[in-house]
Structure 1
Amino acid sequence: MSAPEPTANLLTSRHRRRKDMSMVVTQDIRAKAEVCYGDETCREKIISLLTEKGLPSGLITVLEEIEEYRYIKDTGFVSLKHKSKGKDHKFDKVAVCYDNEVTAYFEPNRIRNLTGVKAKEFLIWITLSEIYVSGDIPAALITFKTPAGFSKSFPLSSFSFKDEEEANEVLEAKIGKLKGVKL
């Protein structure tokens, strides 16, 4: 009989400590976050944040029935939960799929460490990890980047509402769809 390797025990105990630390951090993040519930309130908060950070207002607001919004101002961490899992939306030039939970860190003109969002390219859904805006309006571009480092850019106007009236029309259509009433 041979004795168990000390390295294996050491790795196991380190793994346990690391796992415990991540749980503490998660609880810490939840404690620091500004939390909102309900579609209307959450939608207002995310639109305000997108505008404040210089990102297009239509980028994430296409989600239906947003249940929860968490935001930590110090780090820029955002978490959104909505009822529909695998919600697809077709923008002018790209199809995007949102998981029922989307998380990211928001910075001026940039979303990094993005989870829960995929884009369709040549019939394949590709996970996105970063979105950023570059250039001056009206020629600004929005770029989607994958964890592998591949990226593709589109005109910023493809993801923005042209005016408040269009944003309201989209919102009313979504509400009508939820109630089963055609507008």
Structure 2
Amino acid sequence: MAAEKVGGIVKKGHEEGQKLATSILQQFQLPQGILPLAEVIEVGFVESTGYVWIVQAKKVEHEFKMISKLVSYDTEITGYVEKKRIKKLKGVKAKELMLWPPVSEITVDEPPTGKIHFKSLAGITKTFPVEAFA
């Protein structure tokens, strides 16, 4: 087990893992649809650091229809959650023209404006309506 996982709550299996992932998103005021998961193997969360990890059986590609955006989720997704934000995100890519830049940070506006921002490692930030991920 990696050092950052020490002291974490771990749920195994799709149903329990999905429940934990959903409750983390709710707790940190992030849109429920931001992580469309399939065949979850394990979800873990370390409350003291905000470190979260999700392991799923296979890579998932999901199209957010409202914004016509295709997003790819690897078999392992990790990051650090805090109120209205996920930082140091790994395992998520959004299709941008012909490229798949990794998404490194997701932030929801505070105070709420109905906007959510996705920042890639390349420094590109895209803004969308939050309801696209409800």
Give 1:144's aligned amino acid. Answer: F
Alignment match, 2:90: 115
Q: Which has the higher strand share?
A: 2
The one of 108, 132, 135 aligned to 2:107 = 132
The one of 121, 129, 133 aligned to 1:155 = 129
Alignment match, 1:41: 16
What runs of 5+ residues in structure 1 fail to find an aligned partner? 1-25, 161-183
Distance between the aligned counterparts of 1:88 and 1:112, measured in 2?
A: 21
Q: Which has the higher helix share?
A: 1
- Percent same amino acid at aligned positions? 36
Give 1:70's aligned amino acid. Answer: G
Cα displacement (A) at 1:123: 2.7
Alignment match, 1:89: 62
RCO comparison, higher one (Cα < 8 Å, 6+): 2
Distance 1:150 1:45, change over 3 A: same
User: Conserved in 1, the CA contact under 8 Å of 2:6 and 2:46?
Assistant: no
Alignment match, 2:27: 52
- Superposed CA deviations along residues 20-44 of structure 1, whole A, max 9, x for unmatched, are xxxxxx6433331111101001111
Distance 1:67 1:123, change over 3 A: same
Are positions 1:29 and 2:14 aligned together?
no
Distance between the aligned counterparts of 1:109 and 1:30, measured in 2?
A: 22
Give 2:51's aligned amino acid. Answer: F
Root-mean-square deviation (CA), in Å? 1.3
The one of 74, 98, 110 aligned to 1:99 = 74
User: Conserved in 2, the CA contact under 8 Å of 1:54 and 1:108?
Assistant: yes
What's the TM-score once normalised by structure 1's chain length?
0.69
Distance 1:147 1:28, change over 3 A: same
Give 1:89's aligned amino acid. Answer: H
